[in-house]
Structure 1
Amino acid sequence: MKRQKKQRSVLLVFLLVLPAVFAFSMRPSGKYNLDFFTTHNQFYLCDSAFTGTTGDTTFWNSDAQNARLGTTEDIIGIKIASYGHVRAELNVLNLADTEKDFSKYDHVVEGSVKLSSGIMEILNFPDTKIILKAIVTPARYRVRIYSYAVKNVNPDEDEGTDHYKITLWPAEGKERTVLKAYKAD
């Protein structure tokens, strides 16, 4: 009887510890739907302990404006078409985004962000309200932003038809790269 209790105890401990071991060894992934308000046609994806600044002239310089992506080491700024309403889908991937057909998107850009704390945040602007907080494996991430339905948006209006798909995955590389440039008519 004592032996059976001991075996049950060992089995119970094993069953309780095993999921934690697997969770630790696997990178978190997930899909998040975002629907929130911001201002000034921008919002941010960053590390929860970010030290970068978005207020200097290099963050939103003309290259960043044209690319629709401002970058520092641990915070990126995403430029949107409408003044305030953000509708987006965020996908944290374990492997690189393999989508190559950009025909249905108006603009596609990639950048990089270091999420060293293991907590990624989405912030609105200018009050940096936390819209989303998600656990990620501490690493450098490649971030790709797909913009669509931006053509007929009035940038001074809160509401627009614009939507965004954001993917990020662990990867090195710091350069901002425009994969498809939006050309306003």
Structure 2
Amino acid sequence: MIDLRPLDQLLAVARAPLGPRIELDLGHDTGPLAELAELLTRLNGFTVFNAGVQVFHAGTAGLGPELARWNEPSTWKDTYAGLADGLFCFGQDLFGCQFAVTDNREVVVFDPETADRTPIGAGLDDWAAWLLDDPAVRGAHQFATAWQDERGALGHDQRLIPLQMFTMGGTYDFDNLVAKDAITCMRIRGPLAQTIHDLPDGAQVHVMAERTPAAKPGSKQLAYAELDVFADYNSFMVQDETARFDPDRAWTKALIADMIAAREGVIGVGTARRMTVSVILDVRSEAPDDNFDGWDHVTEAGLRVESGKVIVSMLDYSDAIPRTAVPAGDYAARVYAKGFDTISNDGVHGQDLYHVVLWPGDIKKPRVLVGYPEPLPGG
């Protein structure tokens, strides 16, 4: 009986091909990249373990991610700010862990949440043997089968992403996972990886926005704070420390309809979840630019700050609420919100973020600049 090499054993259980036949040359005569070119010339993309593992096809025609485009920095690697440099990714598992070649010398697994690289071996046979040694865990075989039996088949462009990231305490329960476009899954996690990469265990983490509202030339930052705010009744307030306001029916109606409301010394910001949410308070000397790309919902209002201190809370004026010192005066305000597509169906979990920018200027009436087109999860 002939013993098959591990890569041949893996191909024996593969579903393939994902693309038409191609003669692939990756510019190397030896090493893992030469092996990859030979593999994809032989079988142009495939899945194994009931789509728990996917190997990308090469060439413009085919199903799922394309090898060259997947490795372009602008596809998703740019969101990792250098942490994914030097990787040539050729496949991924069910949760977006990347199988990659580094320096044409080693095959590694790249964790999308932490950007950690775990060495597997010197070539594709080592990678195949590693998968075959534990298909249930390393190939996500059992989970991929159970998910698709209950939720339906995954598209070739889809992977699973947790609503609460695994590194932030999220579980592998079905209710904490959603199927999304694989590129979107990677771009969502890039900023998280930037934040937590190389942090010691137990360190406090603040998830920052993938991008911030662009500043105009000459703009200076007057104050800045990253806050965790309990958004009771799906809202919070940005207000002068001394202002007091009891929400009325008109206020509530505006927050529900537009996610923005304002009164003397107070701005109300609607949120997609009635949970603790991440808020950035960003006070600048000049208005941000008008590029709203990448934001789900953008609103505008104004705020008078007489006390020289701003608080962000929901009717909580206790000493425990942080105060942010700002120059007294009138401010225009813009609220940028994103991450609505990460929110669970029950509206409990998500990675939504609210970036509040204030700058000295005339107080503006509340209005919506960019409206989220879909109903918010959770009703």
| TM-score class normalised by the smaller sequence | 0.7 to 0.9
More helix by share: 2
CA distance in 1: counterparts of 2:293 and 2:328, whole angstroms: 33
2:351 to 161, 164, 167: 161
| Alignment correspondent of 1:31 | 224
Using structure 1 for the length normalisation, give the TM-score: 0.74
| Alignment correspondent of 1:136 | 326
> Is the contact between residue 229 and residue 312 of structure 2 (CA under 8 Å) also seen in structure 1?
no
CA distance in 1: counterparts of 2:304 and 2:315, whole angstroms: 22
CA distance in 1: counterparts of 2:359 and 2:293, whole angstroms: 22
> Is the contact between residue 65 and residue 79 of structure 1 (CA under 8 Å) also seen in structure 2?
yes
Larger mean Cα displacement after TM superposition, 106-115 or 157-166: 157-166
What amino acid does structure 2 have at the position aligned with 1:173? I
Deviations 1:62-115 (A, max 9, x none): x442220121011111111111121122211011122x2212011000101111
What amino acid does structure 2 have at the position aligned with 1:91? D
| Alignment correspondent of 1:170 | 360
CA distance in 2: counterparts of 1:128 and 1:41, whole angstroms: 18
What amino acid does structure 2 have at the position aligned with 1:70? A
| Alignment correspondent of 1:5 | none
CA distance in 2: counterparts of 1:68 and 1:154, whole angstroms: 19
Which runs of 5 or more residues in structure 2 are unaligned?
1-219
Between the two proteins, the alignment pairs up a number of residues equal to: 155
CA distance in 2: counterparts of 1:58 and 1:126, whole angstroms: 17
Using the TM superposition, give the Cα deviation of residue 156 of structure 1 relative to its aligned residue in structure 2, in angstroms. 5.1
Is it true that 1:181 corresponds to 2:374 in the alignment?
A: no
Is it true that 1:87 corresponds to 2:278 in the alignment?
A: yes
CA distance in 2: counterparts of 1:161 and 1:29, whole angstroms: 27
Structure 1 segment 21-100 matched on structure 2, within 5 A = 29-51=222-244, 53-61=245-253, 63-98=254-289, 100=290
Using the TM superposition, give the Cα deviation of residue 29 of structure 1 relative to its aligned residue in structure 2, in angstroms. 0.8
More strand by share: 1
| Alignment correspondent of 2:335 | 145
Which runs of 5 or more residues in structure 1 are unaligned?
1-26
Q: Sort the Cα spacing of 1:38 and 1:75 in 2 relative to 1 into closer, same or farther, 3 A.
A: same
Q: Sort the Cα spacing of 1:66 and 1:42 in 2 relative to 1 into closer, same or farther, 3 A.
A: same
Using the TM superposition, give the Cα deviation of residue 138 of structure 1 relative to its aligned residue in structure 2, in angstroms. 1.2
The alignment-based identity, stated in percent, is 25
Using structure 2 for the length normalisation, give the TM-score: 0.38
Greater RCO (Cα-Cα under 8 Å, separation 6 or more): 1
Question: What SS does structure 1 have at the residue aligned with 2:321?
Answer: strand
CA distance in 2: counterparts of 1:154 and 1:104, whole angstroms: 20
Which structure has the greater CA radius of gyration?
Answer: 2
What amino acid does structure 1 have at the position aligned with 2:278? R
